[in-house]
Amino acid sequence: MFKAIRKFFSHRFDRFYRQKRLRLILDISLIALMIGLVVTIFSLQFYRPGANFKAWFKPSQPVYDSISPPLELSYKIDKTAIKLEDSLDISLTLKNSSENEIKNLKLNLVLQTDNFLISKIEAPIKAEDLKAEGNSLSIKDKNIILAKLEANSEREFALKIYFSTKNDGARTISWRVDSEYKVLEQTVKKSWSLPEIIVALKPMVIAYVYYHSPQGDQLGSGPLPPIVGLPTNFWVFLNAEAGSSFSDLVVSARLAKNVIYTENSSLVAGNLNYSSDSQQVIWQINKIDAIGGLYRAAFEVRLTPGADQLNSVVNLLENLKWQAKDELSGLIVSGSLGNLDTSLKADLINRGSGHVSSFEPLED
């Protein structure tokens, strides 16, 4: 059979192609054309315009522009001076100005001074944030984390920042925002400086009660321990010290039960006044200099204990408090010293001798 086929093609080759090679080339070309037409027909049968076009003309992968990072940050700060017990409220706005999604966004508030610490960051979470899966804001280890920021979108959120100090005399907080995120699988880092924050300081206001001075001099008079029905006089000392400038310092206190103001006083600085209507003693100083100085007032009070105060330590001054204006920050600062009583904690000679006793007449 193979011999017959071979004989057929050999005879046809000798008859048609050996003498005229052009016929061979023409026949081969026609056969190739037919094969090409068959392939084209089958290709058209299975051709899908959308899919095939995209496969042939697939766009190139977008390239990250390192010169113009897509994340922009702006901020609003409600004040540039704070008291440490209060929070600093700041609003941050993040804007994605590119056509690509930002992922794994992390913001870090960095202090550029060793005198302060960020003790706490709070971010009020809105209801819509809780519903937006993968888009909610979270705070971990003082880092503010946002899972994603859509292309050509922006996000605004409010923060409450609480600071603590490692140096009681420190005044200025210098800080910045560091960001890290991914766009087009590239990790991007950028920083923004934030305005300096001035921290308000407080003057040191101290109040003492003495019967004997620290040097041993007797200042008070009358029985000690106090006796029911008999007057005993004590001296109250108010001191103010400051490492900064303050103005309008006001120290006030109300006389306690069975206590009167004797009008005896000693004044080194400021003005000392007593209101009989409100039973308040008020010490005022217009200015306290940063370079220091002696700011002191002293006055005498008289206690005549009642029978209901027997065997107890009784108050001499109540609701002792102060306020002043910190000149550098412009803020009003205040404090409370509580009550002063007959326990005489600062009196080294008579400490603990203030329990009211009863009068016992001597036996014949």
pLDDT band at 364 (very low <50, low <70, confident <90, very high): very low
Is 109 in contact with 175 (CB distance < 8 Å)?
Answer: yes
CA separation for the pair 51, 362 (Å, rounded): 118
CA separation for the pair 231, 308 (Å, rounded): 15
For residue 331, pLDDT over 90 is answered with yes
Is 254 in contact with 317 (CB distance < 8 Å)?
Answer: yes
Query: What's the rounded mean pLDDT across residues 196-216?
Result: 93
Structure confidence at residue 65 (pLDDT): 56
Give the model confidence (pLDDT) of 264-281 as tens digits.
999 998 999 999 999 999
**Of 34-38, 159-163, 229-233, 349-353, where does mean pLDDT reach its minimum?**
34-38
Q: Domains in the chain, start-ordered, CATH in brackets? A: 8-41 (no CATH), 71-199 (2.60.40.740), 204-341 (2.60.40.1170)
Q: What percent of the chain has pLDDT over 90?
A: 52
Can you say how many angstroms the Cα of residue 292 is from the centroid of all Cα atoms in its chain?
32
For residue 158, pLDDT over 60 is answered with yes
Give the model confidence (pLDDT) of 65-77 as tens digits.
556 788 999 999 9
Using a 10 angstrom Cβ sphere, with 0-12 exposed, 13-18 middle and 19 or more buried, the burial of residue 363 is: exposed
Structure confidence at residue 94 (pLDDT): 92
Report phi then psi at 338, rounded to 5.
75, -135
Structure confidence at residue 195 (pLDDT): 93
**335, amino acid identity:** G
Of the two residues 125 and 301, the one the predictor is more confident about is: 301
- Residue 150, phi-psi category: left (phi > 0), alpha (psi -120 to 50), beta (remainder): beta
pLDDT band at 350 (very low <50, low <70, confident <90, very high): very high
For residue 130, pLDDT over 60 is answered with no
For residue 227, pLDDT over 50 is answered with yes
Of the two residues 49 and 1, the one the predictor is more confident about is: 1
- As a whole number, the mean pLDDT across the chain is 84
Structure confidence at residue 177 (pLDDT): 92
Query: What's the rounded mean pLDDT across residues 341-364?
Result: 82
Predicted model pTM: 0.71
CA torsion sign, 181 to 186 to 191 to 192?
Answer: negative
Nearest to 354 by CA among 342, 362, 345: 342
Query: What's the rounded mean pLDDT across residues 284-303?
Result: 89
pLDDT band at 53 (very low <50, low <70, confident <90, very high): very low
**Of 32-36, 109-113, 209-213, where does mean pLDDT reach its minimum?**
32-36
Structure confidence at residue 13 (pLDDT): 59
Give the model confidence (pLDDT) of 145-156 as tens digits.
888 889 898 898
Query: What's the rounded mean pLDDT across residues 36-61?
Result: 60
Structure confidence at residue 10 (pLDDT): 66
Give the model confidence (pLDDT) of 132-142 as tens digits.
445 577 888 77
For residue 131, pLDDT over 50 is answered with no
Q: How many CB atoms within 10 Å of residue 119?
A: 12
pLDDT band at 55 (very low <50, low <70, confident <90, very high): very low
Q: What percent of the chain has pLDDT over 70?
A: 80
